[in-house]
C-alpha cells in the first residue's frame, strides 16, 4: 500500500511504533497533491514548508519517544473558513482576500496539540454558502463534490490527506462526504467549538469531520470535542471515549424514515433499500418510523434562520464591500435583511418544538436511517441538494453518512444515520457496525 493511502489510525500507529516517519508521510501526500490536484482542485493553499517543518519536529520527537497525542505526525486539511495562524484564510471570497489570522481555530489548535500536522487549506464555496468552489468530484471530474465543504471531501477521497475539517449549517459536511464516498460526521451542536470558524449562522453552525472510515472519524472527534470557554455555544457535556465505543458494536435498532426514500430518485431509493436489507439480514432490527407533524415546517424555519443570521453576521462588511460578494450569497444577505423579527422568533420556536417532538422517536431507536442524498452528485457547478440534512442541522442532532453502494454510472451513495443529542458514541458504534456489513468505498481512479 502506498503511504498516501494509509488511514489515519494506521499512520498514527506506525509512527508511534517508529516504523513510519512523519517526514516520509508528508512527502508522500505532497507528491500525491502534485499528481492529482491540478484536476481535482481541492486545495486553496498547500503549506509545503510549514508541513515539512512540522513533520521534521514530529519525527524528532517520535525518535525520542515523545508523542504529543493520538494523531502525532498525521496530516490533516482544514476548510478555508477555519482560522490558521500565519496562513491565508479567505473563505473562497474576494471580500477576505489576503486575510491572515493571528490564531488557530479551536478545532485546528486541538488537532495540532494532539500531534497532527496541518497540510493546508481546502476550498469552500464563498463563505460556506452557495457560490461554488472550483473543486471537482474525484469519482467523476464532471460532477460536483458537493458544498460547501467541497475541498475537504475531494481531498480525502482523492487520497491527498487522510482527515479533514469541514462545517455544516444546512448540509455542507454530510452531503459532500456522501457524494465522495466518505464517512462524514456532523456532531451535536456545541460538541466541537466553532471559535475561529468564520460564521454563517451562530445558531446552526457545526464543525464537521471527514475521513475514509468510521474509526478515523472517531479518532478525529476524540481530539476535537469538548468545552471551549472562548465559545459561548460550546457544550459542557462530558466527552466519552469514542474509540472505546467502537469496540462495543452491536446490531442496532433502526428507524426507517420512509418519507426520505419517497423524495429520492428511484435509483437512490433502490440502492439504499438494498443496503437496508443487508443490514437487516446481518441482524439489525429495522422498523418504519414516522416524523412528527412539525417536520412540515422544518425547511422553511431552517432557511429563514440561516438567512437572517447570515445577514446579521455580514451586515457591516456587506455595507462596505457589497460589490465583492458573488451573486448567491449577495442574494441570501439581501433576503435576510428583509426578514422581520417575529418570523425569526417563530422559526426558533419551530426548531425547539421539532426537537422536543423527536424525543420519543429517538428513545425508541438507536438510529434513524435515510438515504444521505436524494440523488447522486450532479454534473456541473451546482453543489447539490441538502434537503436530507436540513432537519438534523436545524435540530442540532448528530448525523453521520456511511458509504452504501454506487449508482450504475459509478458515483458513490451513502446512508445517513441520526441519533439523540450528545449520543455520538453509540452513533459511531452503529455506523461502524453498518460499515462492517456494507464495506468501505474503494478509492476513485484518478
Residue 406's CB: how many other CB atoms inside 10 A? 16
Q: Please, is 381 exposed, middle or buried when counting C-beta atoms within 10 Å of its C-beta (0-12, 13-18, 19+)?
A: middle
DSSP string, 269-329: HHHHHHHHHHHHHTT-EEEEE---TTHHHHHHHHHHHHHHHHHHHHHHHHHHHGGGS-HHH
Give the integer Cα–Cα distance in Å for 76 and 152. 10
Whether cis (ω within 30° of 0) applies to the bond prior to 168 is no
Measure the CA dihedral 238/223/416/394, to 10°.
Answer: 60
Quick check: 408 and 364 in contact, CB under 8 A? no
Give the integer Cα–Cα distance in Å for 147 and 153. 9
Strands (E), 136-294: 164-168, 183-186, 206-211, 253-257, 285-289
Active-site annotation, residues: 79, 148, 172
Shortest CA distance to 66 belongs to which of 18, 134, 8? 18
Residue 318's CB: how many other CB atoms inside 10 A? 20
Residue partners of 4: CB distance under 8 A and separation at least 6? 28, 29, 31, 32, 159, 160
Helices (runs of H) and strands (runs of E) counted in the chain? 15, 11
Quick check: 372 and 413 in contact, CB under 8 A? yes
Could you report how far apart the first and last alpha carbons of the chain are, in Å? Answer: 16
Q: For the chain, how long is the longest CA-to-CA vector?
A: 61
Alpha helices in 365-423 (DSSP H): 390-395
Give the integer Cα–Cα distance in Å for 74 and 214. 17
Amino acid at each position: 500500500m502506498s503511504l498516501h493511502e494509509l488511514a489515519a489510525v494506521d499512520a498514527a500507529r506506525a509512527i508511534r511504533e517508529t516504523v513510519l516517519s512523519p517526514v516520509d508521510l508528508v512527502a508522500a501526500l505532497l507528491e500525491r497533491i502534485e499528481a492529482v490536484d491540478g484536476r481535482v482542485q481541492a486545495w486553496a493553499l498547500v503549506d509545503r514548508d510549514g508541513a515539512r517543518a512540522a513533520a521534521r519536529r514530529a519525527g524528532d520527537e517520535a525518535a525520542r519517544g515523545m508523542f504529543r497525542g493520538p494523531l502525532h505526525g498525521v496530516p490533516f486539511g482544514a476548510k478555508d473558513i477555519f482560522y490558521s495562524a500565519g496562513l491565508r484564510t479567505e473563505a473562497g471570497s474576494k471580500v477576505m482576500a489576503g486575510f491572515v489570522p493571528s490564531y488557530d481555530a479551536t478545532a485546528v489548535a486541538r488537532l495540532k496539540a494532539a500531534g497532527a500536522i496541518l497540510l493546508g487549506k481546502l476550498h469552500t464555496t464563498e463563505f460556506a454558502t452557495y457560490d461554488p468552489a472550483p473543486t471537482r468530484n474525484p469519482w467523476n471530474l464532471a460532477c460536483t463534490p458537493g458544498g460547501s465543504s467541497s475541498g475537504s471531501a475531494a481531498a480525502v477521497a482523492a487520497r491527498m490527506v487522510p482527515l479533514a475539517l469541514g462545517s455544516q449549517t444546512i448540509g455542507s459536511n454530510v452531503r459532500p462526504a456522501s457524494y465522495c464516498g466518505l464517512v462524514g460526521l456532523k456532531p451535536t451542536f456545541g460538541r466541537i467549538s466553532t471559535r475561529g470558524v468564520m460564521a454563517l449562522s451562530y445558531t446552526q453552525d457545526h464543525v464537521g469531520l471527514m475521513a475514509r472510515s468510521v474509526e478515523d472519524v472517531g479518532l478525529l472527534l476524540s481530539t476535537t470535542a469538548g468545552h471551549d470557554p472562548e465559545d459561548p455555544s460550546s457544550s459542557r457535556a462530558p466527552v466519552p471515549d469514542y474509540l472505546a465505543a467502537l469496540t462495543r458494536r452491536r446490531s442496532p435498532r433502526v428507524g426507517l424514515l420512509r418519507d426520505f426514500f419517497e423524495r429520492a430518485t428511484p435509483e437512490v431509493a433502490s440502492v439504499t433499500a438494498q443496503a437496508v436489507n443487508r443490514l437487516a439480514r446481518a441482524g439489525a432490527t429495522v422498523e418504519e418510523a414516522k416524523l412528527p407533524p412539525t417536520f412540515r415546517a422544518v425547511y422553511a424555519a431552517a432557511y429563514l434562520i440561516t438567512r437572517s443570521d447570515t445577514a446579521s453576521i455580514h451586515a457591516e462588511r456587506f455595507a462596505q464591500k457589497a460589490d465583492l460578494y458573488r451573486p448567491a450569497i449577495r442574494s441570501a444577505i439581501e433576503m435576510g435583511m428583509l426578514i422581520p423579527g417575529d418570523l425569526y422568533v417563530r422559526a426558533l420556536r419551530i426548531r425547539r418544538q421539532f426537537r422536543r417532538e423527536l424525543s420519543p422517536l429517538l428513545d425508541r431507536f438507536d438510529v434513524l436511517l435515510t438515504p444521505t442524498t436524494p440523488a447522486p452528485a450532479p454534473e456541473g457547478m451546482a453543489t447539490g441538494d441538502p434537503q436530507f440534512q436540513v432537519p438534523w442541522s436545524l435540530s442540532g442532532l448528530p448525523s453521520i453518512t456511511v458509504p452504501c453502494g454506487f449508482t450504475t454510472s459509478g458515483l458513490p451513495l451513502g446512508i445517513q444515520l441520526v441519533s439523540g443529542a450528545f449520543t455520538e458514541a453509540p452513533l459511531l458504534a452503529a455506523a461502524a457496525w453498518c460499515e462492517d456489513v456494507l464495506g468501505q468505498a474503494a478509492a476513485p481512479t484518478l
